[in-house]
Chain A
């Protein structure tokens, strides 16, 4: 379990003090995957580096499995770091060492004997699917394969938690998916708790249970992935959601359409995705639904459907129809057009 309590990190430089992380609270329970998303410069890397004290928080506390890292003397901190794996955007492998040695060297340095080292290297190369690459050097591998080696290196310490600093940001979409699958697999099969940071919403979508949206050093919104995808409130969260599904219609279009009814976004979760609700609406009320856009987002823990619909009919009927939809467990959001000039 990872707990951050009011973590703040300031950098002092010639041009003044930069508050990279401001009073952040995070709790990742055992076996969960939490993701922090934010734009460049939001403070994500600084935040995740505070978890294993690569960056010492200016204020606040960090706990891993109940042990407060921020108060540990260096030797004990080192011992605890063994239990925290970390992977990076740049892989950070030894260029002059083979795949095998890249995993074996840290194990040797951590004091494991030869047979244990061999056993673990083979075991974890198997898990990441690179058994045939023992003798290759990193420059002979693709980006995805390098990240697999880095993941095997992290896993070989048998950590309880894994930190990921933009582990897929340097990879193409397909390779990204395969690495995300791998992270899901190790989370499920080895029960490893994962905290990751990313600027890609699809990473959050595919593997996270819980999401934090970070901006300017602060967590501006956080919730379970399903709730956040269903009911985003902060503008930044909405912008990120737009990156995986086009959620916006132009405001002039909306204004035009609003003359004959309402333009509403309907968000369906779980149960309600299965019902033919729009057909029911047109039967029950004098309202004709016209679908403007629709998409479905598969999250780790469920499915969220999104429909932007033009409900054509008189005001009263439309209002009743929306009310009915809400009763059926659909989240609705009336879209606004251009403000009246």
Chain B
């Protein structure tokens, strides 16, 4: 048996499972972050001064919350909200235990990215639709979200990549995933090959996500 076959036989199940866990963590937390981040992005765009739902209090409050959360590094956030996580999902370890910190970390980030995506949509188009007597809700769906799609996709690509990074750190609280494998085996037990393998997998993962994102965005963008 060659060295590489042996390596594969020994590590494939472990690494394979960790990739799956990474996907799980990224997928679930991305889902909830989008659910919070996009509406929050819309809110801060539409409540800013001069916009249709202009509201100083809501605008400044949401900005403040986003900034506060965004200024805490993920690793600190992770430990800081451990008790809260435990209260909500009953555990603070494993994939389940890390979703809440990941969402709290990622949602405000997505909100910011969405804000800049929406701000790229020409105000004039929104105005033209308002002038036609079309409701704000319909404008959100058919103008704001529609026109911002290329930037939304790019923003989500960026936040997915940053979520992958965050899940690696989540390995610290026993969440599993690639980071966990790299830390436990690669670092603590000096299995250098395992370290290399996880790094290569991460690079491939990030590269593919980025190029898929770029491609979709380019196909929607028409200018």
Complex interface: chain A residues within 8 A of B131 (CB): 52, 54, 81, 84, 86, 163
Q: How distant is A156 from chain B, measured CB to nearest CB, in Å?
A: 10
In whole angstroms, how far apart are the Cα atoms of A137 and B131 in the complex? 22
Whether a CB of chain A sits under 8 angstroms from the CB of B220 is: yes
Interface pair A96/B149, CB less than 8 Å apart = yes
> How would residues 106 to 150 of chain B score, 1 for a CB under 8 Å from any chain A CB and 0 otherwise?
000000000000000010110111111111001000110011011
Contact for B127 among A92, A110, A138, A139, CB less than 8 A? A92
Classify the interface of chain B: helix, strand, loop or mixed: helix
Are B142 and A105 in touch, CB under 8 angstroms? yes
Residue of A with least CB distance to B129: A106
| A81 lies within 8 A of B132 (CB) | yes
Chain A residues with CB under 8 A of B189: none
Which residues of A from 55 to 101 have beta carbons under 8 Å from B? 77-82, 84-86, 88, 90, 92-97
Of residues 120 through 155 on chain A, the ones whose CB sits less than 8 Å from some CB of chain B are 137-139, 150, 153
A214 to B97, CA, bound (A): 66
User: With A and B bound together, what is the CA distance between A195 and B138 in angstroms?
Assistant: 28
Q: Is B3 an interface residue (CB 8 A)?
A: no
Output the nearest chain A residue to B141 by Cβ-Cβ distance. Answer: A109
Query: Chain B contacts of A157 at CB under 8 A?
Result: 132
Check A95 against B222 for contact (C-beta < 8 Å).
yes
Contact B124 A92 (CB under 8 A): yes
A138 contact set on B, CB distance < 8 A: 222-223
**Does B133 contact A86, Cβ atoms closer than 8 Å?**
no
Q: How far is it, in angstroms, between the C-alpha of A105 and the C-alpha of B122 when the chains are bound?
A: 17
Check B56 for interface membership: any CB of A closer than 8 A: no
When chains A and B are docked, how far (Å) is the Cα of A77 from the Cα of B127? 15
Q: Which chain A residues lie closer than 8 Å to B86 at the CB level?
A: none
In the complex, what residues of A have CB within 8 A of residue B130's CB?
A: 54, 81
Secondary structure at the A interface, as helix, strand, loop or mixed, is: mixed
Contact yes or no, B124 A88, CB < 8 A = yes
For the complex, what is the distance from the CA of A77 to the CA of B128, rounded to whole Å? 15
Per the bound structure, the CA–CA distance linking A153 and B131 in Å amounts to 12
Residues of B within 8 A of A110 (CB): 132-134
Q: How far is the CA of A97 from the CA of B222 in the complex (A)?
A: 8
Interface residues of A in 154-176 (CB under 8 A from B): 157, 163
Residue B215 CB within 8 A of the other chain: no
Chain B residues with Cβ under 8 A from A85's Cβ?
132
- Considering only CB atoms, which chain B residue lies closest to A87 in the complex? B128
**Nearest CB of chain A from residue B116's CB, rounded to whole Å:** 17
Given the contacts A96-B220, A106-B134, A110-B134, A86 and B128 also touching, CB distance less than 8 Å? yes
Q: Is the CB of B135 within 8 A of A78?
A: yes
Report whether B128 and A92 are in contact in the complex, using a CB–CB cutoff of 8 Å: yes
Nearest B residue to A98, CB-CB: B222
In the complex with contacts A54-B127, A82-B132, A137-B223 CB distance below 8 A = yes
Contact A82 B133 (CB under 8 A): yes
Residues of A within 8 A of B134 (CB): 78, 106, 109-110
Q: How far is B81's CA from A5's CA once the two chains are assembled, in angstroms?
A: 60
Say yes or no for B190: interface residue by CB 8 A criterion: no
Cα separation A169 to B148 with both chains bound (whole Å): 27
In chain B, residues 145-202, which have Cβ atoms closer than 8 Å to a Cβ of chain A? 146-147, 149-150
Q: A96 to nearest B CB, angstroms?
A: 5
> Contact between A97 and B138 (Cβ–Cβ < 8 Å)?
no
Give every chain B residue within 8 A of A94 (Cβ-Cβ). 125, 143, 146-147
- Report the nearest B residue to A86, measured CB to CB: B131
Q: How far is the CB of A48 from chain B (nearest CB, A)?
A: 10
Q: Shortest CB–CB separation between residue A12 and chain B, in angstroms?
A: 11
- In whole angstroms, what is the CA distance A137 to B223 when docked? 8
* A139 B124 Cβ-Cβ under 8 A: no
Q: Which residue of the partner chain A has the closest CB to B126?
A: A92
Nearest first, the 8 A-B pairs at minimum CB distance are A81-B133, A92-B128, A139-B223, A78-B133, A92-B124, A137-B222, A86-B131, A82-B133
Report which B residues bind A (CB closer than 8 A): 122, 124-125, 127-135, 138, 142-143, 146-147, 149-150, 220-223
Interface of A toward B, CB cutoff 8 Å: 52, 54, 77-82, 84-86, 88, 90, 92-97, 105-106, 109-110, 137-139, 150, 153, 157, 163
Between A and B, 19 residue pairs with Cβ closer than 8 Å are: A77-B133, A79-B133, A81-B132, A86-B128, A88-B127, A90-B124, A92-B128, A96-B146, A96-B150, A106-B129, A106-B132, A109-B134, A109-B135, A109-B138, A110-B132, A110-B134, A137-B223, A139-B222, A153-B128
